[in-house]
Amino acid sequence: MLDNLPRGTICIEDIEMGMSRDLRKQVTDSDIEMFATVSTDRNPVHLDDDYAQDTIFEGRIAHGMLTAGLISAVIGEQLPGHGTVYLGQTLKFLGPVRPGDMVYAEVRVTDIDIAKRRVKLDCHCAVEGKKVLVGEATVLAPSRKFD
């Protein structure tokens, strides 16, 4: 048995259909700048007010993958939590996230294969109740039966 699982980690044996977890995060200019540095994606639609004003977004937006990273945070920290391994993720971007927006990210269990330790999760992010990202993740969940 794994006695060293972090508090809050949910093992495959304890995951239930419909179980969900979420977080809220305000996306800041600093977040966008740090993501641009780490990812090396310096597209001016994210960083340059004057450039972004002349785009379909009429202003700067956060990187889509920064928003998707909030889904990863829910999965890696809460459901299933530490020890989870990503196997796949689909994403569809439905709208922009702007500096200052409060993003709500949620994952919900839609399928469980206990024998293979696989969990499918419906994922979405929303701003002011409007979905800006939807997708599905497949993960390998931690188990109490494996060291």
pLDDT-above-90 percentage for the chain: 92
| Per-residue confidence band for 62, with pLDDT thresholds at 50, 70 and 90 | very high
Residue-level pLDDT at 36: 98
**Does the pLDDT value for residue 92 go beyond 50?**
yes
Q: How far apart are CA 93 and CA 26, in angstroms?
A: 18
Sign, CA torsion 103/109/115/116: negative
Residue 63 has pLDDT above 80, yes or no: yes
In CATH, the number for domain 13-140 is 3.10.129.10
Domain definitions of the chain by residue range: 13-140
Chain centroid offset of residue 136 CA: 10
Identify the pLDDT of residue 8: 73
**pLDDT, position 147:** 47
pLDDT, residue 128, reads 98
The pLDDT of residue 6 is 58
Question: Looking at the predicted structure, is the pLDDT value of residue 98 above 90?
Answer: yes
CB 52 within 8 A of CB 101: no
Q: What is the mean pLDDT of the chain?
A: 95
Phi (first) and psi of residue 45, to 5 degrees: -65, -20
pTM of the full structure: 0.92
User: What confidence tens digit (pLDDT) does each residue in 27-53 have?
Assistant: 999 999 999 999 999 999 999 999 999
Residue-level pLDDT at 144: 86
Span 18-26, average pLDDT:
98
φ, ψ at 19 (rounded to 5°): -60, 140
pLDDT, average across residues 104-116:
98
Residue 132 is given by DSSP the state E
Backbone angles phi and psi of 110, in degrees to 5: -120, -15
